[in-house]
Amino acid sequence: MRARVVDKWAAAWALAIGTFAGADNGIENRDWPQSWFEAPKTASALGITAFSESPFLAHRGLPPVQDRLPEDPIVIEPYKSIGRYGGKASIMLDDSWQFFNWEAALTLSPDMRGFLPNLAEWWKLSEDGRTVTLKLRAGIRWSDGEPLTSDDFVFTFNRIWLDKDVSPVTSLIVLGGEIVKIDDLTFKYVFKDPNPSFVNLIAQYGNFMVDPEHYFRNFHAAYVDNEELDERVRDAGYLNWMKWIDDLRMARIEQSAEVPTLRAYKVVSRTLDMMRLERNPYYHKVDPAGQQLPYIDAIDAEVNLDNAELSTAKAATGQLDFAAFPLRTQDIPLLKLGERGGLIDVYIWTRLHASDVAIQPNYTHEDKRLRALYWDKRFRHALSYAINRQEMNDVIYFGRGVPRQVTVHPTSVYYEPAFAFAYTEYDPDRSRTLLDEMGVIDRDGDGFREYPDGTQLTITLEFLDFETPKGISMELVREYWRDIGIDLRLKLVDRGLQSARAQAGEMQMTIWHADRVTDILFPVVPDWWVPRSVGWDRCMWNEWARFYQTDGRLGEEPPPLIRQLQSWADELRTTMDEERRAEVARNLLRTGAENLWVIGTVGLAPHPVVVSKRLKNVLPDGIWGWDNRWTLSYHPSTWYFDE
């Protein structure tokens, strides 16, 4: 079986031999503009006094462009060249977020370590770490022309995050906090305990921290008479106003075209088949020539209903101007063949995932025998030694990934190579020895090991095959583990079942890809190393996480070692002592490396990004992942068509 899998994939990859170079894993030696790593300069600082706009906006009865821009707009340097206006991009809906990208008070530096002013002119963290104060740039407007003010941030914090109807369980993101308006452009987040890493979330999760208060107050029970709101909700086809607001915020429904935005593009229509976007006439950024961004006028984003094959076919045949999110590593040979037609360029970016497949035993599963087996770290070490990561790298990634465990990204200040490569040697004999020591042996001679009490040992791993090469990876892992006598069964599930069964703790084992590993997210959501939140993508220890979240009212009390991890995670998030923060961060990472709470395979892997020949200013060598919001730091508003 394994030979067939290897041969099939090796043959496919052979088509792409020599057609791309492996990207490095950091950001060194990349020709990205230095200005991207610094607080953005404004027009006045660069001597820009005249501004222009796209002809697309002519004859629309809009105020002059200088009156639609902020008082002193920020200037974004394109990757290679100043662009030209015009054109409509064709993409799939999954990639709409690359154009319809976040605009938050702060934004992310491309090095995935720092945070830069964006909507905010400046920000300040108090010495005690309990207060983050932000001052908005004067004159920024929503896409309907209404001014952006502190009230918009106050509305989202109080009426979305802290509203028990909208958010029944208060997110750890805002727990213990409040927002205080100082004036129309200045406000502060205040926490009972030090929360210095809250700025990470303002930048990474920030689009969900500001909404147009003047629009959404018309849909919220705090502002609208209950009877009137109930009638409007029924007319809209909803059971409650909370779901209505959520769908509007996430641009899922036709009425989303009415929602004002701060992004480079606004929704103009939303159907089951297509989301259409047009340039935001009030977008607050310009290029070095004083041209209001974005360059591209409109976007058609086709809904593909998770049909990755359709997206790949369209990308390979030049039917899309940009494609990345729905594409998979295994698509690279086909895409490279399509590149020969001269209609597309295929760039190979590097995924920031510590591991494309993070294998998760369920330590709180109801089966006590299975739980005891998992908790013995010899078992986890045995499973890890049995995985031939180099073969996986050669077969699935053609040697362009890195065999490794789940730890932080190489750009992290907390990165240590020893954590990344712990127990990664391929040594199935050592695996067998460890299992024998545990009394997990083959008692009936069928080739598979039994529990120490002699009963059948079968592990079912349920997973959603999405984003990274999970299916082919687990086919190989299944064969590796069967070689040492562990009977692993694979079961594909859909998104709904994955979420329900993982959160309910019903899965024996599952997988996901290990993002949240950069200095953007690791300090605030170290979910691979400590049970502190319940996730649909994780099954390791949700009962221990519930205990932590509810101070023991729900869930199950974890062992002392796990309580220690939770304590370190709290300290990582709250301490103002940089040395102590580094110490507890490495405590978490070291303990994770020693115990292998999750088992990694291959990470820092190649990711295909397809652009049409006419699309310019797209990086050929970016870093792809959730932590850095995929393309956010690379300024998609500066992409343009050369035709």
8 Å CB contact between 475 and 388: no
Q: Which of 262, 290, 314 is at the close of a domain? A: 262
Segment 535-577, tens digit of pLDDT: 889 999 999 999 999 999 999 999 999 999 999 999 999 999 9
Q: Which of 262, 295, 312 is at the close of a domain? A: 262
Report in angstroms the alpha-carbon separations of 226 from 162, 166, 242, 244, 416: 20, 15, 13, 15, 56
My answer on whether 293 and 417 are in the same domain is no
My answer on whether 370 and 404 are in the same domain is yes
My answer on whether 13 and 43 are in the same domain is yes
Rounded CA gap, 448 and 192, in Å?
Answer: 54
Given the DSSP bridges, would you call strands 623-624 and 344-351 parallel, antiparallel or unpaired?
parallel
My answer on whether 275 and 344 are in the same domain is yes
pTM over 0.75: yes
My answer on whether 402 and 504 are in the same domain is yes
Give the pLDDT band (50/70/90) at residue 307.
Answer: confident
8 Å CB contact between 204 and 627: yes
Tally of CA atoms within 13 A in the half-sphere of 231 that contains its CB: 4
DSSP state of 40: P
Which runs of consecutive H residues, i.e. helices, occur in 174-240?
198-204, 213-216, 226-235
My answer on whether 288 and 246 are in the same domain is no
My answer on whether 576 and 626 are in the same domain is no
Q: Could you please report the per-residue DSSP string of 487-505?
A: EEEEEE--HHHHHHHHHTT
| CATH value at residue 394 | 3.10.105.10
Report in angstroms the alpha-carbon separations of 96 from 99, 108, 610: 6, 19, 14
Report in angstroms the alpha-carbon separations of 576 from 2, 98, 117, 411: 51, 34, 22, 22
My answer on whether 69 and 162 are in the same domain is no
Contacts of 617 (CB under 8 A, 6+ apart): 78, 79, 80, 81, 83, 638, 639, 640
Rounded CA gap, 137 and 119, in Å?
Answer: 6
Q: Residue 179 pairs with which residues in a beta bridge?
A: 189
In this predicted structure, what is the pLDDT of residue 99?
87
The tally of domains found in the chain comes to 3
My answer on whether 321 and 344 are in the same domain is yes
Query: Among 452, 447, 422, which Cα is nearest to 437's?
Result: 452
Buried b (16+ CB within 10 A) or exposed e, 7-24: eebeebbeebeeebebbe
My answer on whether 297 and 284 are in the same domain is yes
| CATH value at residue 239 | 3.90.76.10
Q: Which of 243, 262, 281 is at the close of a domain? A: 262
Given the DSSP bridges, would you call strands 298-302 and 88-92 parallel, antiparallel or unpaired?
parallel
In this predicted structure, what is the pLDDT of residue 25?
52
* Domain containing residue 295: 1-96+263-348+605-643
Write out the two tokens for 634: 């690379």
Mean pLDDT, residues 265-280? 96
Segment 423-480, tens digit of pLDDT: 999 999 999 999 999 999 999 999 999 999 999 999 999 999 989 999 999 999 999 9
My answer on whether 496 and 529 are in the same domain is yes
For helices 377-385 and 578-595, angle between their N-to-C axes, nearest 10 degrees: 70
| CATH value at residue 333 | 3.40.190.10
Mean pLDDT, residues 132-143? 98
Tally of CA atoms within 13 A in the half-sphere of 22 that contains its CB: 14
My answer on whether 224 and 180 are in the same domain is yes
